[in-house]
Amino acid sequence: MAKDIYDWDPEDEAQWNSVGKKIANRNLWISIPALLCGFAVWLYWGIITVQMINLGYPFDKSQLFTLAAIAGLTGATLRIPSTFFIRIAGGRNTIFLTTALLILPALGTGILLQNPDTPLWKFQILALLSGIGGGNFASSMSNISFFFPKRIQGYSLGMNAGLGNF
């Protein structure tokens, strides 16, 4: 089977039954854990900031809670362009790249948390990068809706959003 899809019509019953269903489900089951990782990295700042307070980092509460705000605003803002990434770069490339980019804030946060003297701006940059996880939602939903026929799009998008946000 070719790596790229050139002729896709999930409404064509013959194509759906021969290859479409398999390709669509494979994309769905790859998208769910990618989306789960995106939400985990995007939203972990609410947990991390509370623990930073408990561990005595030299920031006041208002400074620390800017981390969750930065991540939230970045993720919400990135949902707008992320909707179009699938059409521009393709589903496989977009999902892979945006999920791979989550390694930067995830590893960076783990490394920076080892030193309580790390300046706040470094955490703020990582919070900004973690917003990629929030943008993943829009591209993931756009990608999955392409693969499924209208009659079962509710199920596929529900599985993607429901399990991906678990």
Which pLDDT score is estimated for 163? 93
Residue type, 107: L
DSSP state of 7: S
Give the integer Cα–Cα distance in Å for 76 and 82.
10
Which tokens is 92 given? 């496989």
Round the average pLDDT of the chain to a whole number and report it: 93
* pLDDT score of 37 more than 60: yes
Q: Would you tell me the crossing angle of helices 61-89 and 21-43 to the nearest 10 degrees?
A: 160
Burial class (CB within 10 angstroms; exposed 0-12, middle 13-18, buried 19+) of 71: buried
Residue 108 CB contacts under 8 Å (≥ 6 apart), including other chains: 122, 126, 129
pLDDT tens track for 122-155: 999 999 999 999 999 999 999 999 999 999 999 9
Mean pLDDT value of segment 48-67: 94
* pLDDT score of 16 more than 90: yes
* pLDDT score of 105 more than 80: yes
What phi and psi values does residue 124 have, to the nearest 5 degrees? -65, -35
Mean pLDDT value of segment 23-47: 94
Hey, what domains does the chain have and what are their CATH numbers? Answer: 13-164 (1.20.1250.20)
How many Cβ atoms from other residues are within 10 Å of residue 150's Cβ?
Answer: 9
Handedness of CA 91, 92, 93, 99 (dihedral sign): positive
Which pLDDT score is estimated for 1? 45
Residue type, 95: I
HEC secondary structure over 55-103: CCCCCCHHHHHHHHHHHHHHHHHHHHHHHHHHHHHCHHHHHHHHHHCCH
Could you tell me the pTM of the whole model?
0.88
